[in-house]
Structure 1
Amino acid sequence: MKIRTIFVLLLMIAIFFVVYQYNTYQEYTNRPMPSDLHPLVEEAKEQLIKQSEEIGIPILITDGFRSTVEQDAIYARGRSEDGNIVTYAKGGESYHNYGLAIDFAIQPNPDEVIWDIEYDGNNNGESDWMEVVSIAKSLGFSWGGDFTRFKDYPHFQMDFGLSIRELKMGKRPEDVIDK
């Protein structure tokens, strides 16, 4: 008798959870995908460029918002297309697809772009790359170099506490900011 009661209770909890999940995300499902960087990410990106320049580190934002078609093309590299694998995220599985991520490189000269994480162009004894990472983190970005699965050194993102799963369901930063 006790086992049956426990089973019924667990079943009721499971049903409640499924209904709750369905109702929670139902209001978001018909939202269109973003088509540009989120305004807060755009603002932080501009601050990153400015603050890096102020300490003698010119940077170039090499990527920002990406459509799912663009993401799928990048995902194909090293798989069905020539090149090296540069991402494990298919279209819709990257924070770039939601306007919440940027990639950067150091640009010591107008015609030169480098991804050398040891480079010290401002000659202060510190890696320029890591100085930019420090600025980005102070602006609220998380850094791809801290990822455990795939180190993505040029990548910064602001996820606003949202998972890719939530973003795919239509939830957006404005749903969680100031709540």
Structure 2
Amino acid sequence: MKGFRKDITAWIIIVLAVAVIFYLYNHLQANRYIDHGEDEPMPEELHPIVEEKTETLIEKASTININVVITDTVRTKKEQRELYEQGRSEGGQVVTHARGGESYHNYGLAIDYALRNHDGDIIWDTNYDGNNNGESDWFEVADIAKELGFKWGGDGNFKDYPHLQMDFGLSINQLQQGLRPKKEAPEE
């Protein structure tokens, strides 16, 4: 009987520990996000943290002689739908698999970038090495961005080399339901 009591006590302690961990995890998550519900209007500008990190990205790249140009930030659902149709019902090459409301751009959490060469032209050449260090400037920018907390579209299955996003741990489904990251950095 004594062994049975020890087993029950051990299981009670484990269950309580799991419950406390679950509660703390959910409490911390609640402090990171704001739930606006499905009627929340779409953002019209970049999330402040994304905007700040974008500026830092441009500055850091310039210190190694790379001129980064931001080519796209927030998109409306309509703009996203039009991009989605490219290469499908419209001419051109497929550039996205995200429909309207399915892109982090729609929520102010993503940017697209390109490079400006020494002649002042905006280029999309991922092999360009304008700072002549033997490395692709494009990939150097992606590495800087990842150090700043961005996720890079070049790492996904569908290679979207110009794309950088900060999802703050939120899925597109959660964003569609109205969950949004807070405007300031979460307290650790």
Any idea what SS the aligned residue of 1:172 has? strand
Within-5 A mapping of 1:30-109? 30-109=39-118
Instruction: Specify the alignment match of 2:23 in structure 1.
Output: none
5+ long unaligned stretches in structure 1: 1-24
Give a deviation string over 1:55-87, Cα, whole Å, max 9, x none. 100011011111111101111111111111100
How far does residue 26 in structure 1 lie from its aligned partner after superposition? 7.9
Point out 4+ residue stretches in structure 1 off by more than 6 angstroms. Answer: none
Structure 2 counterpart of 1:152, one-letter code:
D
TM-score (norm 1): 0.80
Structure 2: gaps spanning 5 or more residues: 1-33
Letter in 2 for 1:171: L
CA distance in 2, matches of 1:92, 1:133: 25
Shift of 1:97: 0.2
Give the C-alpha shift of residue 110 in structure 1. 6.0
Name the structure 2 match of 1:113: 122
In 1, Cα distance between equivalents of 2:39 and 2:121: 43
Offset, 1:29: 2.3
Q: Computing the radius of gyration over CA atoms, which structure comes out larger, 1 or 2?
A: 2
| Contact 2:35–2:180 under 8 Å retained in 1 | no
Structure 2 equivalent of residue 129 of structure 1: 138
Cα–Cα, structure 1 residues 111 and 26, in superposed 2: closer, same or farther, change >3 Å? closer
Q: Which has the higher contact order (CA 8 A, sep 6+)?
A: 2
Aligned partner of 1:154 in structure 2 is 162
Name the counterpart of 1:169. Answer: 177
* Count of residue correspondences: 154
Question: Pairwise CA RMSD of aligned residues?
Answer: 1.9
% identity of equivalent residues:
56
